[in-house]
Amino acid sequence: MYIELESKKVPVLDLQGNKIEEIELPKFFSYPVRKDLIRRVFISEFTRSLQPKGRDPMAGRRTSALSFGINLGLARVPRVKQSGEAALAPNTVGGRLAFPPTPEKRIVEEVNEKEKKLAIISALSATTIPDFVAMRGHKFTASYLPIIVTDELEKVDRTKSLYKEIFPKLGIAEDIERVKERIRIRSGKGKMRGRRYKRSKGPLIIVSNAHSPLIQAGSNIEGVDVVSANLVSVIHLAPGGHPGRLTIYTKSAIDILSKRLQGRVIA
């Protein structure tokens, strides 16, 4: 079964926020939002970034512990000489673990390539629906979504001009302030493990060129991610598996996405 999708026209803005032309979005931007599929593919992409964890095969075995024998009124478990502390066997003080984590464990959620493609299409479609964007907590004053800007945006190489001049004109400056206000210190021992602060996700900018100077300029702003259209995935479009991230596209990025995701969409 195939879904008949309708294309819609959206304005293209310049860096001052003025409408200069109108283009027709590819039809996949009208695909139904599949939350279940997005969540499944997000878990798959996320688990691929995890490092396998395991124990040293000799952990708990580096000891000369021996059993004291029978008729002593003690359990016949191996005991460390002189101290008498039980060791080596599982369920004993200082002994080895019975079932420690192993690096052979399969931690990656495998999904089909077609599922990945449909999940990206569905996540892209969610960026055009204001209700989904608002449910994620984003704040914006733009009167239409998605926000499409001319390719001049990719030439911006100054963080200050992006933050002070361009974002307010595009109607997303309020979302940047929201991210800055929500930075908070994590509770628990995670503070000591390289993740001291908890941060919210802000706007996503999709560009056509992976070597655009905008990537460096945008990475200096809290919560902002800049990614090329060839590399964008569900991880970027739906952080945490929740679709509807506030997204800005350049005009050329739309063309690249259209070539990358071309074809008929199967229900």
3-state per-residue secondary structure call for 22-87:
EEECCHHHHCCCCHHHHHHHHHHHHHCCCCCCCCCCCCCCCCCCECCCCCCCCCCCCECCCCCCEC
For residues 79 and 207, state if they share a domain.
no
Checking if the pLDDT of 239 tops 50, the result is yes
98 vs 200: CA distance, rounded Å: 40
Q: What SS3 class is residue 205?
A: strand
**Is 127 in contact with 133 (CB distance < 8 Å)?**
yes
For residues 128 and 231, state if they share a domain.
yes
For residues 148 and 25, state if they share a domain.
yes
Q: pTM for this one? A: 0.85
Residue 42 lies inside a defined structural domain of this protein: no
Q: Domain range spanning residue 206? A: 9-35+111-260
Residue 41 lies inside a defined structural domain of this protein: no
121-147: per-residue pLDDT in tens?
Answer: 999 999 999 999 999 999 999 888 999
For residues 17 and 72, state if they share a domain.
no
Q: What is the pLDDT of residue 265?
A: 53
Mean pLDDT in residue range 242-250 = 96
Q: At what angle do helices 35-47 and 113-126 cross, to 10 degrees?
A: 120
For residues 148 and 206, state if they share a domain.
yes
Confidence of residue 8 (pLDDT cuts 50, 70, 90): confident
Place of tokens 């926000």: 147
Last residue of a domain, one of 60, 86, 106: 106
For residues 199 and 224, state if they share a domain.
yes
For residues 238 and 127, state if they share a domain.
yes
Q: What is the pLDDT of residue 263?
A: 64
For residues 57 and 22, state if they share a domain.
no
For residues 91 and 128, state if they share a domain.
no
- Taking alpha carbons only, the member of 55, 96, 63 closest to residue 79 is 63
For residues 116 and 181, state if they share a domain.
yes
129 vs 124: CA distance, rounded Å: 10
Confidence of residue 85 (pLDDT cuts 50, 70, 90): confident
Residue 221 lies inside a defined structural domain of this protein: yes
**CB half-sphere exposure, 196, CA atoms < 13 A:** 1
CATH number at residue 171: 3.40.1370.10
For residues 202 and 70, state if they share a domain.
no
For residues 138 and 154, state if they share a domain.
yes
- Taking alpha carbons only, the member of 102, 92, 105 closest to residue 60 is 92
Q: Mean pLDDT for the chain?
A: 91
The type of residue at 89 is A
Confidence of residue 1 (pLDDT cuts 50, 70, 90): very low
